[in-house]
Structure 1
């Protein structure tokens, strides 16, 4: 492993363009900086060319400077992760399904705007990838639609996600024949969701597989685009429908008793959530509950 002091000397020389200026900035002698450069070049080969008072990096020098910058960024990330003095600063990482992720992302941006010291890293992913990411410690928090049966993961209810039958704004659904006329816009979870919801509204129906397929999208934010254009209907979680920009172009059909999925919050069982993560989770839980209450009063 390269000596960190040698790397600091090299980065200063590359940034400031001279040994003397680098030595002054680092509080070292010029001879010490030169010695550090000699050590690096003995291991890595020529790093720079001196042209009078100018210094030009060679290809190995460019690569080493990129390495120095990566080490510096990693150090800053480590400091953010270990700094737990205040709950509204430092990094929080979470990975969620796309549907609830669409609802959460604006809330996370609101938190970052209100608390500039907060760094939130958010990724959309299906359940399998989410479980693996939390187990591999790439994300501190995960949200999944199915509670995992894994003793390494702690799971608790996080939010409820009702399913909705969504059609073009000018359409209505009174019978199974209306769905056959419209056709189905599918997505990765579409047939499973539609089966669960439509069985409540049309218990004697032949099932969603019997409906004509009008389209498919694996992008959660795009599933409602063909519905808005009158190309068919779909069944989708409410959070995804509420995040759709063209709300006037779609319509939700009531299906009687709601079909509601429970979303589960995951973290490594042996490690409690950081204070920052707990604080962020509580903030977004409050906002999601407020949104749910507002929907119930409509």
Structure 2
């Protein structure tokens, strides 16, 4: 039987990509990390890493061992959690999503925690790639993303959708092509993707975002509409980010002939055993998203 400590060291090494960082993270020495890798190679009777200078790449066998080690350690961690506490409203819940979703869901989960104080909600705001990365690194229990990823070590489940909105200053009565060209565009990290989806489906003139004058950029989800409210440009944002903006009287959300919504996916580690409290959180979020969609129709 392979030593689980060797497997944990190996998984951490692969995920950090650095021997020194692995040693620091696991409170080991760097030679100790190398020794665990050698032990695994001796156990499986083949090399797992190709050393390249101070770095390395995985061999084919190394990839297979890493994938199996992830599953094994994840299942054991899940079992340990379930055995230690299987209360549906007791224990930590680490979850992350892109910012707009977080603005809607984090207050709902805090309300749930206020009813069940033994819950500990740890909510992170991150782009899709960051959510996936932290899930793989076991820094999260659950993630919500707005595109179907391609990580083989993660499982994705359709979970809902969030409408995209065209937002202008309140002084703009109709979002004609000419008025948008005159206004210019307020950019944000997901802006190009979301603008391509919504504008491409509704304006025959639209080819790419660079057709508009870029009036500014903001990466803080709660402040992206601030320059729009001040008349400096238009933006394309998900509905939850728009509805949470404080200065609703200063902006106008326009209905378009072809509504577009971004899908929402629940992401988790493949073969991850979910304790009851995580299943409860999933049910709560699904219910909340379902009620929001129903009220929007």
Check whether TM > 0.5. Answer: yes
TM-aligned CA deviation for residue 214 of structure 1: 1.2
TM-aligned CA deviation for residue 174 of structure 1: 4.2
Q: CA 1:81–1:173 in 2, change beyond 3 Å: closer, same or farther?
A: farther
- For residue 140 of structure 1, what is the aligned residue in structure 2? 141
- For residue 164 of structure 1, what is the aligned residue in structure 2? 165
- For residue 11 of structure 1, what is the aligned residue in structure 2? none
The Cα offsets for residues 73-117 of structure 1, whole Å up to 9 and x where unpaired, read as xxxxxx988643310111111011111011111101111111111
- For residue 191 of structure 1, what is the aligned residue in structure 2? 192
- For residue 222 of structure 1, what is the aligned residue in structure 2? 223
Which blocks of at least 5 consecutive residues in structure 2 are unaligned?
A: 1-79
1:75-94 map, 5 Å: 83-94=84-95
TM-aligned CA deviation for residue 278 of structure 1: 1.1
TM-score, normalising length from structure 1?
A: 0.69
The Cα offsets for residues 132-178 of structure 1, whole Å up to 9 and x where unpaired, read as 11111110101112212233111101220111101112212342110
> Using the alignment, how far apart are the partners of 1:83 and 1:101 within structure 2?
29
SS at match of 1:129: helix
SS at match of 1:116: coil
Equivalent pairs, count: 218
> Using the alignment, how far apart are the partners of 1:132 and 1:82 within structure 2?
27
Query: Does the CA-based 8 Å contact 1:191-1:209 persist in structure 2?
Result: no
1:138-287 map, 5 Å: 138-287=139-288
SS at match of 1:220: coil
TM-aligned CA deviation for residue 258 of structure 1: 1.4
> Using the alignment, how far apart are the partners of 1:82 and 1:246 within structure 2?
48
RMSD (Å) for aligned C-alpha atoms: 1.8
SS at match of 2:252: strand
SS at match of 2:105: helix
Q: CA 1:151–1:208 in 2, change beyond 3 Å: closer, same or farther?
A: closer
Q: CA 1:168–1:82 in 2, change beyond 3 Å: closer, same or farther?
A: farther
> Using the alignment, how far apart are the partners of 1:81 and 1:229 within structure 2?
51
Query: Does the CA-based 8 Å contact 2:144-2:265 persist in structure 1?
Result: yes
Which blocks of at least 5 consecutive residues in structure 1 are unaligned?
A: 1-78
Q: CA 1:137–1:205 in 2, change beyond 3 Å: closer, same or farther?
A: closer
SS at match of 1:102: helix
Q: From the CA coordinates, give the structure whose radius of gyration is larger.
A: 1
1:44-59 map, 5 Å: none
